[in-house]
Amino acid sequence: MNELEKLENFVNDQIDIISKGLEYTKEQSDNIDIAIDQIVSGNFKSTKDIGDALENLIAKIFEVHKLYFIKQNLRTKTNEIDLFIELSEKGYFYRSRLYPSLPKKFLVECKNYNETVGVTYVGKFYSLMNVSNTNNGIFISKKGLTGNPDSWSDSKGLVKKIALKNNCFILDFDLSELKNLKGKHLNKMLSDKLNCLKLDVSFEKFIKPHELENSLKDA
């Protein structure tokens, strides 16, 4: 093994150590699961209480590794933002080494409805992103969004259309996706969701060779 290979192995070992430190522990995962189960049960005195519980849960999930600064219930002149999430200095450090494509800030919308969320609320969230000059959002709900992931209709389709036309990316999570986080990385989950959305709306997948293309090339 030459010196360059030794250096590469050393760097890879350090990355593995860093990556391991960003995993949720069993205790952290269990506490999150308990909070999710309480929210799903709906055993709260008011809709505000359950809404606050959902927002606090998401803040907790993001805060646990100190990679993000969290601001809750920010008010603009016309709207309220559930959560504003921005990378901390530690977050920037890890982003530069592990997840360079990860956005630096997100708006987060939390919906505690007992059914899948329709296009109206996705559209309102996009409008909020637009007036807040933020291109990346996270939409958290109990049951997820309406529509089939492979279609371009309903809420899931609207998310893809917004990404394709406006280069704004809404990453949707239902609560079941936030359970059993032991050994998982939040940054990787976000990065994977973002990459899947970007790839799914890539123009290249809609561009098919024309039947006369080869003959024109030969002309």
At 57, the pLDDT band (50, 70, 90 cuts) reads very high
- 177: which 2 tokens? 């996706």
Summarised one tens digit per residue, pLDDT across range 68-123 is: 999 988 876 667 889 999 999 988 888 887 788 788 999 999 999 889 999 999 99
Residues in the chain: 219
Residue 174 in this model has a pLDDT that exceeds 70 = yes
Higher-scoring residue by pLDDT: 73, 15: 73
Higher-scoring residue by pLDDT: 140, 188: 140
At 200, the pLDDT band (50, 70, 90 cuts) reads confident
The CATH number of 23-202 is: 3.40.1350.10
Quote the pTM value.
0.82
- 55: which 2 tokens? 């927002």
Query: Residue ranges per domain, the chain?
Result: 23-202
Average pLDDT, the chain: 84
